[in-house]
Amino acid sequence: MSGENRFAFFQGKIVPIEEAKVSIMTSAFNYGSAVFEGIRGYWNQEQGQLYLFRLREHMERLWQNCRLLLIELPYTVDQLCQAAVELVRREEFRTDIYLRPLAYKSSQVVGVRLHDLESDCAMFAVPFGDYLDRPSGARVMVSSWRRLDDNTIPPRGKITGAYVNAALAKTEAHLHGFDDALMLCQDGHVSEASTANLFLVRQGRLITPPVTADILEGITRATVLQLAEDLDIETQERPIDRSELYVADELFMCGTAVGLVAIVEVDGRPIGAGTPGPTFTRLNTLFQAIVRGKEPRYRAWCTPVYPAAAPSSVG
**CA–CA separation, 272 vs 245, rounded Å?**
10
- Whole-angstrom distance, CA of residue 44 vs CA of residue 21: 32
Distance CA 158, CA 135 (A): 27
- DSSP annotation of 12: T
Per the CB < 8 A criterion, the answer to whether 251 and 271 are in contact is: yes
Distance separating the N- and C-terminal Cα atoms of the chain: 9
Are residues 34 and 104 in contact, defined by beta-carbon separation less than 8 angstroms?
A: yes
Identify any residues that bridge with 40 across adjacent strands, giving them in sequence order.
98
Are the beta carbons of 81 and 303 closer than 8 angstroms? Answer: yes
Segment (H or E) for 60: helix 55-66
Residues 6+ apart with CB under 8 A from 193: 140, 180, 181, 182, 183, 253, 255, 258
107 phi/psi in degrees, rounded to 5: -65, 145
Question: Catalytic amino acids?
Answer: 158
State the DSSP code for 37.
-
